[in-house]
Amino acid sequence: MREKTVSKKENLFVASRFVLPEHRETYIRIKAEERRYIPPELDEEQQAALSEEVWRAFQSGSGVAVTYYDGQSPKRRVGCVVHVDQASRRIKLKAGEEAVWIPFDRLLHVQMGATS
């Protein structure tokens, strides 16, 4: 049988016979790190603005859209802030029956007036 030919663009390591397994693993790890999302660092002024928006949403009971970093990528949730835990620096966001605790240091953006 004839082997299927693979272009270098499709698979760099199948087309090359001189690549050690260690080099292949390192290359794959580097490419995965390049695709990894890195959240922006917020300065004190931006954090204060987010804190103020969260507090206003908590006081008014209005809907809020929260964008936060979950450890892998940015996530967006819409709901109501039902609890602000100042000691642990986190908020409890409730959307329907589901409630989620979000650490304040993971918040990226808060928008008031959002509806589910």
Domain ranges of the chain: 44-112
pLDDT at 34 over 60: yes
Residues in Cβ contact with 91 at an 8 Å cutoff, skipping those fewer than 6 apart:
54, 58, 66, 81, 83, 84, 85, 101, 102, 104, 107
Q: Kindly report, residue by residue over 44-66, the tens digit of the pLDDT.
A: 999 999 999 999 999 998 899 99
Look at 36 and 97; give whichever has higher pLDDT: 97
Q: pTM, whole model, 2 decimals?
A: 0.66
What is the pLDDT at residue 98?
92
What class, spelled out in words, does domain 44-112 have in CATH? mainly beta
